[in-house]
Structures are given as structure tokens and as C-alpha cells.
Amino acid sequence: MTESGGDSEGHTRQLSVALSMLTLVPGGMGGSETYARALTEQLVGLKSVSVTAFVPTSAVGFRRAMPEVEITGLHSGPTNFDRLRTVVGANLLAPRIRRVMAGSDVVHFPFTVPAPLPARHQASVQSLLDVQHLELPRMFSRTELAYRRLFYEGYARKADAVITISHFAKQRMVELLGIAEDRIYVAQLGVDTSRFTPNLGPRENFILYPARGWPHKNHAALIKAVEIARLANPELRLVLTGGGLDVLGELPDWVDRRGLVSEAELLELYRTAGAMIFPSLYEGFGLPPLEAMASGCPVAVSRAGSLPEVVGDAAVTFDASDPAAIAAAIEETFLRSVELAAAGILQVRNFTWENCRDVHVHAYRQAYERHH
């Protein structure tokens, strides 16, 4: 399935698609924002679909290459209260929003939340990246669980098409939500390898973990594991990047908590780290391991969620609940550094944003036909 500037499926009628991104919080949404940025770039200029982004006032300018419509008077924010306020505001403004989206054949909610609901004549597509709240409910507040059950699960069962990002996530949605397999489309995320310059030479004696400070990212277990690994390698350091790391509290002096870093700094860390260790307890996909691989960085990941699907045989895997097992994986990753770097560069070539885009275009068409 390839777009290649034409219509990959032999259709002549161009579909008009509204990307409803009214809950977008630029800089505060982690991997879902990376996904949306890449997708919007890929959807520009296609013959089979014409796509317009609809954003709140607080997110104007998210993707200047794509036609963008501001929903004035609507503001988004990172807290649960902010998100609920945005949803309430979008529903209060529903008549106006539906009017400006009225010419669209399909409404796609890339940030999952269907606010407001599309008009009756429009097909609907929901991106649902994972069902983590059903797998690890202890890591969510009661408010967050209620929010996800209402806006994630509730609409997934009604949408004409659901797009997710791994075969693992699709299978869990089939099992836990009862959605028919033929309504779920797997659009694995991609890596723009032109952004990365692989380093296959000497690397420095530190471990990199780029992840926000969310509970399922499992920072505490990694810190314990590095403490164990330092018994054999006393100079080993740990570098943490990502937002929300203040929640980790006081850290050992061998942990470098850098927080949000520029793209240039992150790319340099990928190029120089001795290894990238990813101990997450749950991932709907897991893009950082692939980005590390594109940089020639040896990778080890937990066996949780979609991570084994993403890394294939190109990474060391471990039990993320056991710091000793993580420490052993750190040692193995350093020992197999040359082999893993070469394998990772080959593995990352399997994941492109063009393939991700083509699945979306196919899902839009199928949703439209199913709706009509």
C-alpha cells in the first residue's frame, strides 16, 4: 500500500479529512505528539485525501505546512482539570465546530478524545494508541481512569475505524474492548533516519533513558539496576531526559537529570551513550529504542507490551520488574555493543512514516465506505 503522490487504492474521489486536535497541548504529550507531528507532515499534498487540522487557540501553529483552522476561545492544558475543561468547552462550542468541519467526509481524532462528536454524515476515525489504563489501573488516578473509560473506550466501540500503533495494542483492544479485528488498523510508527548519524565507533560510559517521569516508565527500577551494575563498572553514569522528572525526588550523584532537552542534545546523547536502556512496564509502541538504533546505540528493553515486537532480535530484553535482571542486561548490552549497533541499524529500516501514513489513508477510506 503506497501513496507515492497518487491514489494508492485506485479511487478517484478525493476524501476531505478533518484532523480534530482540540485537546492538543504542544510540548506536553510525549509520544502521541511525536506521532501527530510526523503524521501531519506526511499527509500534506496527497491526491487521495485533503487534510485540514483543527486546533485550539493555545496550539495555533502546530504544523504550519498543513492547512490549519483555529477554534477561537478554546484552550488546552496538561492537567486533568485542563483536559476536562477543554472537553467541556469543545462540547459547548459544538455547533460552531461542526459548522467549520461540515465539508469534511471523515473526522479523525489523533489524540483519541472525540470532542465534539462529528456530524451524522461524517465518518469517524479514532487513534487509540494503547489500553494501558486497563492493564495497569494502579498507575492511574480515579479521575484519569474515568476520563479514559468515557472518552477512550466508549468511543472506540462506536468509531467507524480505530487506528493503533502495534499489533500488540490491537490484540489487547480486541480482547479487552471487544472491538472487531477488521475495524482496527495497525499503523506502526516510523523513524526519519535522515535525522540520525550512526556512530559505530567508541562510545562513552553512560546509560541513556529518554522518558517522561510517568509511573509506568519505571525509573526507580532502572536506578537500582545501575547501582548494581556500578559494582563492576564504578564509573558508569545514568542520563535521564524528558519532562516531569522532578517527581523522581532526590537522586544519586551519578544520575544526570537533564529534563527536557533540545533535539540536537538528544541526538548527541544517542550518538555517544554506551547503551540505551528502556525499562518501561508498558508501551503501545516505544519509539525511543528505534531512535537509538538509528544512531548506532546498543539497546536493551523490557519484555513488556509492544517492545519485543518493535526491537525484534536487535536488542537485549529483560524482566523490568527485577533490577538484577536489568543490571545483567546492561552488562550484556555493553559486551555485545558492536553486534547490537549493526543489528539495530538494520531493524530501524522496517519502520517508516510513509508506511504509517498509508495505513491512515486506507483507514480513512474504509471508515468512509463503512459509514455510507
pTM greater than the 0.85 cutoff: yes
φ/ψ of 219, rounded to 5, equals: -60, -40
Q: List pLDDT tens digits, range 206-252.
A: 999 999 999 999 999 999 999 999 999 999 999 999 989 999 999 99
DSSP string, 294-351: HTT--EEEESSTTHHHHHTTSSEEE-TT-HHHHHHHHHHHHHTHHHHHHHHHHHHTT-
**pLDDT for position 12:** 67
- Of the candidates 162, 140, 185, 164, the one whose C-alpha atom is nearest the C-alpha of residue 283 is 164
Separation of CA 36 from chain center: 8
What is the arithmetic mean of pLDDT over 259-282?
97
241: alpha, beta or left, given left = phi > 0 and alpha = psi -120 to 50? Answer: beta
At residue 233, what is the residue type?
N
Residue 79 has pLDDT above 90, yes or no: no
Q: Which three cell numbers stand for residue 154?
A: 466508549
- Confidence grade of residue 5 (pLDDT, cut at 50, 70, 90): very low
Kindly list the structural domains of the chain, giving each domain's residue range(s) and its CATH number in brackets, ordered by start: 15-190+352-371 (3.40.50.2000), 193-348 (3.40.50.2000)
Q: List pLDDT tens digits, range 289-327.
A: 999 999 999 999 999 999 999 999 999 999 999 999 999
Residues 100 and 327: their CA atoms lie apart, in Å, by 55
Contact 370, 125 (CB under 8 A): no
Strand partners, 207: 238, 275
Percent of the chain with pLDDT over 70: 97
